[in-house]
Amino acid sequence: MACAQTGSGKTAAFCFPIISGIMREQYVQRPRGSRTVYPLALILAPTRELSSQIHVEAKKFSYQTGVKVVVAYGGAPINQQLRELERGVDILVATPGRLVDLLERARVSLQMIRYLALDEADRMLDMGFEPQIRKIVQQMDMPPPGMRQTMLFSATFPKEIQRLASDFLAKYIFLAVGRVGSSTDLIVQRVEFVHESDKRSHLMDLLHAQVANGVHGKQALTLVFVETKKGADALEHWLYMNGFPATTIHGDRTQQERELALRSFKSGKTPILVATDVAARGLDIPHVAHVVNFDLPNDIDDYVHRIGRTGRAGKSGLATAFFNENNMSLARPLTELMQEANQEVPAWLNRYASRANYGGGKSKRSGGNRFGARDFRRDGSFTRGTSNDYYSGVNSSSSAYGVPGGGYGGGYGYSNHGATSAWD
Ligand SMILES: Nc1ncnc2c1ncn2[C@@H]1O[C@H](COP(=O)(O)OP(=O)(O)OP(=O)(O)O)[C@@H](O)[C@H]1O
């Protein structure tokens, strides 16, 4: 179970051990003669775009190793994916729904799986995906926990989800680089009080200012998060009518439209992308300069993932949130998160936070102190009884990119440089 901040390079962290493991085991005998394929590794991700991105990365990492990587996700023609699978597969990257389909058609068997990775593991195990994941991992022909290596990765890991996840693991290590659920201090976070009715004009001001300050009067890539699919379409239309080339990505668009939107955004053709949470996790889009939370999410972990679309791989980024009376429950966790990442918290937000009930706000975390987030087995509520669990961790006082580790307290039972331990 591994936790590290957004943009810190978790994809490589689970791909490399899988690829090197497979290079050693590639020649193991797999059943022949049927149309069923027997991958050795399975990587599951919550969105089609993310699974596609992992596929591209894993293919790069396995260049000239002979390791075959195939992707399967919904919304795209299954026949093409079946043909790819028939050519051979060592690592299958998939979204849960399409994988269940392939398993039920008996075109994929999990019998030979040696490595199982769940990217965005907390999302994969929350209410939406848990039944599908249980089916894939526990009710098909996947070898049991001790017979395969299971890796769960995310930038956030609420305690309840850790507890669920432990069903899929045996003797596991909890590895935290920095604090669980913290945001990187490479991102400058700003919170502005904006009434619902003023949001559009406020966004327009931001975008105008961005063009004025930008390079050659060009719009910097800006990702705008909204709450609903309808809201995304309406805002895109409004932006377009006001002379800002924008596009949208959300669950009501066809896969083709989603992919087109992403390409158009990446290339700068439409430098504003209005998105729902479907784009909140994992997407690694170079040069996103600004993330705007037009509508704030209810959960602070979702905020962490959203702003994490900028400030990646050692680069800096800007995140602006529009806060108003509808977001009161977020005041406290947001203040704590910002303080922890050495951000300036506006006095008015501090006041709202101190008025909020202890532990207030819709959060998957239990307890009021978000930085209690850590290996749940360290909590008194966990009975160790028969468990063989053991702990490991990385005490990281600086990031992988040499940035001084203001917000990085070390994920283990001690800390240096005067930083507070994640266990505190
Ligand atoms: N050692 C490295 N040096 C430089 N760049 C790196 C290194 N490792 C990864 N990267 C780059 O950093 C970027 C972010 O990596 P990645 O998408 O794996 O982050 P992540 O931790 O999975 O983030 P998220 O939590 O948002 O999913 C990628 O563009 C990747 O190519």
Given the structure tokens 């943009």, which residue do they identify?
7
Side chain identity at residue 165, one-letter code: A
Question: What pLDDT score was predicted for residue 25?
Answer: 80
Say if ligand 1 is within 6 A of residue 98 CB.
no
Query: What residue's CA is closest to ligand 1, atom 25?
Result: 6
CA of 314 from ligand 1 middle (Å) equals 9
Given the structure tokens 């049927």, which residue do they identify?
34
Question: What pLDDT score was predicted for residue 374?
Answer: 74
Answer yes or no: is pLDDT of 167 > 60.
Answer: yes
Question: What pLDDT score was predicted for residue 380?
Answer: 59
Say if ligand 1 is within 6 A of residue 284 CB.
yes
Question: What pLDDT score was predicted for residue 405?
Answer: 33
User: What are the tens digits of pLDDT across the range 206-220?
Assistant: 999 988 777 667 789
CA of 283 from ligand 1 middle (Å) equals 10
Closest CA to 338 of 246, 253, 406, 249: 406
Probe target for ligand 1 pocket from 5, 6, 10, 11, with the most ligand atoms within 8 Å of CB: 11
Say if ligand 1 is within 6 A of residue 186 CB.
no
Given the structure tokens 């392939």, which residue do they identify?
102
CA of 354 from ligand 1 middle (Å) equals 36
DSSP string, 239-276: HHHTT--EEEE-TTS-HHHHHHHHHHHHTTSS-EEEE-
Say if ligand 1 is within 6 A of residue 308 CB.
yes
Say if ligand 1 is within 6 A of residue 333 CB.
no
Cα–Cα distance for residue pair 131/96, rounded to 1 Å: 10
Closest atom of ligand 1 relative to the 313 alpha carbon: 12
Question: What pLDDT score was predicted for residue 68?
Answer: 97
Write phi, then psi, for 280 (nearest 5 degrees).
Answer: -75, -30
Cα–Cα distance for residue pair 287/309, rounded to 1 Å: 10
- Please, is 83 exposed, middle or buried when counting C-beta atoms within 10 Å of its C-beta (0-12, 13-18, 19+)? exposed
Question: What pLDDT score was predicted for residue 377?
Answer: 82
Say if ligand 1 is within 6 A of residue 312 CB.
yes
DSSP string, 96-112: HHHHHHHHHTTSB--TT
Given pLDDT bands bounded at 50, 70 and 90, which one contains residue 412? very low
- Is pLDDT larger for residue 83 or for residue 376? 83
CA of 152 from ligand 1 middle (Å) equals 16
CA of 204 from ligand 1 middle (Å) equals 31
Q: What is the dihedral of CA 118, 176, 174, 153, to 10 degrees?
A: 0
Say if ligand 1 is within 6 A of residue 28 CB.
no
CA of 282 from ligand 1 middle (Å) equals 9
Ramachandran category for residue 112: left, alpha or beta (phi over 0 → left; psi -120 to 50 → alpha)? alpha
CA of 246 from ligand 1 middle (Å) equals 26
Cβ neighbours of residue 111 under 8 Å, at least 6 residues apart?
Answer: 31, 38, 141, 142, 143
User: What are the tens digits of pLDDT across the range 119-141?
Assistant: 999 999 998 999 999 999 999 99
Cα–Cα distance for residue pair 306/221, rounded to 1 Å: 14
Cα–Cα distance for residue pair 157/151, rounded to 1 Å: 13
- Is pLDDT larger for residue 408 or for residue 226? 226
Closest CA to 52 of 38, 72, 66: 72
Farthest-apart Cα atoms in the chain, separation: 69
DSSP β-bridge partners for residue 318: 188, 290
Both structure tokens of 288 = 């996103």
Say if ligand 1 is within 6 A of residue 313 CB.
yes
